[in-house]
Amino acid sequence: MTKRLRETERLRKIVEAFPKVTVTVLGDLVADEFIFGEISRVSREAPVLILKHQERSVVPGGGANAVSNLADLGVNVLPVGVVGDDEPGRLLLKAFRHKHVPVSGVLKDKSYTTVTKTRILAGMTHTARQQVVRVDREPEAEPNRHLKRELVLAAREYARASDVLLISDYGYGAATPAILNAVRYKGGLRGVPVVLDSRYRMLEYSGVTAATPNEPEVEAALGVRIGHDWRTLCAAAEQVISRMKLQSLVITRGRDGMVAFTHRHKPADIPIFGSDQVTDVTGAGDTVIATFTAALAAGAEAEDAAHLANYAGGIVVMKRGTATVSQQELLQALDQAPPATRTH
């Protein structure tokens, strides 16, 4: 058996083990709403298009999209978060139940507004729809003290029964560094690994196992410009690993794929799977963190987990809207092309 065949077979065994693992997701649960319309005419009131409404859909976004991706990968997933007593919150819970995801760890509160991102897409008959505007509805404040205490208790209870804890922090207050510290207080996690996806404040977390930021997030956190400079990228990664005390770090780079950094091996520069002419990047980061976390939970080394996350990312960006990748799609991708790395 050749080296490439051995690598592919190793990755297949990891994916096939997904149904045997459990992941707790502590995250900001978001409802992604899509409103589709056909261009009717130009308004007489203002120079804007009038759209004839065609359809509407609401799907899990943010941390809820990470949950949805884990479920479709076959993983046993336990979500912990907050939704409001409103239609978007009810639709998120309905989507979880439809995928047989337990919802007892999702707190429902009348004083909280479910984070909802509404994308309005327009097009002509037989043409691709284009996003013309996005409207975000957000709670006026973070979850209150009582809700945060309940989040800590639920996350601690579920994480202890899980192989990995995934933190999906979109900045809305349900997955903050303080909440994670409270979950871990006095050995609360009992050694369960923690994987982090934080949009705005990853350096405020310390002692997590792994993180999967994109390159702009690393640049913003460190105040550097990476561009196409390999040495600058590696130096930035070393700084992030040191400051956060990480065991591994994956930096996603859009059409340039991703790079996996660990203490034991040299960086693995992984080219994008599939076409670089993407259809939609909405939620792709959630797919990456979900697949990477699932693989770690199944016992994969960080580089193998990154390869699988790269396959999943390459699949999902060819789908429109907030989408997921299934276990079967991942296995089919492995059959299409062996894992690849670039040399430096």
| Mean pLDDT for the stretch of residues 204-217 | 94
CA distance 326 to 275: 19
Given a cut of 80, whether residue 5 has pLDDT beyond it is: no
| Spatial contact of 19 and 76, defined as CB atoms under 8 Å apart | yes
CA distance 119 to 227: 30
pLDDT at 280: 67
Given a cut of 90, whether residue 187 has pLDDT beyond it is: no
At 264, list the tokens: 């034991």
Given a cut of 70, whether residue 103 has pLDDT beyond it is: yes
| Spatial contact of 19 and 328, defined as CB atoms under 8 Å apart | no
Determine whether 72 is an active site residue.
no
Strands of the sheet containing 130-137, edge to edge, are: 49-62, 29-42, 115-123, 130-137
Q: What is the pLDDT of residues 151-181, one digit of tens each?
A: 999 999 999 999 999 999 999 999 999 999 9
Residue 342 is classified by DSSP as B
The residues, any chain, with a CB within 8 Å of residue 55's CB and separated by 6 or more, are: 35, 36
- What distances in angstroms separate CA 188 from CA 145, 175, 246, one per listed residue? 19, 16, 19
Indicate the pLDDT class of residue 188, thresholds 50, 70 and 90: confident
At 7, list the tokens: 């690598």
- CA torsion 108-152-79-246 (nearest 10°) is 150
CA distance 314 to 308: 10
Q: What is the pLDDT of residues 116-156, one digit of tens each?
A: 999 999 987 777 788 889 999 999 899 999 999 999 999 99
- Residue of 109, 269, 286, 304 marked active site: 286
The residues, any chain, with a CB within 8 Å of residue 208's CB and separated by 6 or more, are: 167, 180, 194, 195, 196, 244, 245, 246
pLDDT at 209: 96
At 38, list the tokens: 């056909």
Helix (H) or strand (E) holding 67: helix 63-72
Looking at domain 3-31+60-116+139-336, what is its CATH homologous superfamily?
Ribokinase (3.40.1190.20)
